[in-house]
Amino acid sequence: MRLKKTIALASVAGLTALSLAACGPAQEPTGQYKQVEQKAASKTAYIPKNDTELDNYNKAQELYDDPAAIQFCTAFPSSNSAPIVTTPIAGKLTTSSTTFFNPQEPFGGEFQGQGMVTLPKRSVDGLYHGDSFYRYGFTPGGQYVDFSNSLELMCTTALTEFQRQKTFVEGVDTDKDVSKLQAEAEQALKDGDNAKATKILGGK
């Protein structure tokens, strides 16, 4: 038993020495870099007094958390001859990488020689988020819609007209007061009546 402990301790010591040797001594900053740091230290930065960024973040989270909110997502095809299409989305669009389970798992031992690995943490909504290839969502009527990241996309809570040939919104009667239709459809979604919300947006 003592021999095994000695070997284990020697192995740990060897790994530690190897790691330190690999890291090597930290390089001293150059003279010019020191001058930059000294110049920066003599300056005074503006310290924000308001919470504009946090307010934007909280407002966005409140919107994302409302399944009855309707966003109009407009896709811009790369071809100028292709029509611009707008689709109403209930709630929000979700990135394809969003998952409940951690997309990365730590390796055994010393991460199998791969060094330090930063693992993602759950976001404020309890899910993991990362790079995605497309975004998806559902219309007020429950129809699945996804948008490839190759498409330029803009989503807004207020319908905006874009000029190419004609403004077209899937399933929405744009000849009527869309803001009124939207408010009535959102109320229908809050009441749990998806079919009614779809009819309202269609002007029926």
Structure tokens, 34: 């020191």
- In the chain, what are the domain boundaries? 52-101+123-171
- Looking at residues 114-129, what average pLDDT do you find? 77
Question: Is the Cβ–Cβ distance between 121 and 107 less than 8 Å?
Answer: no
Lookup: tokens for 84: 């611009």
pLDDT digits (tens, 9 = 90+) for 60-119: 999 999 999 999 998 888 887 777 888 999 999 998 888 888 877 665 555 555 556 667
Answer yes or no: is pLDDT of 165 > 70: no
135 closest CA partner among 61, 88, 73 = 73
- Report which residue type is found at 75: A
Average pLDDT of the segment spanning 167-187: 84
Q: Specify the pTM.
A: 0.66
Torsion of CA 176, 180, 182, 187, to 10 degrees: -140
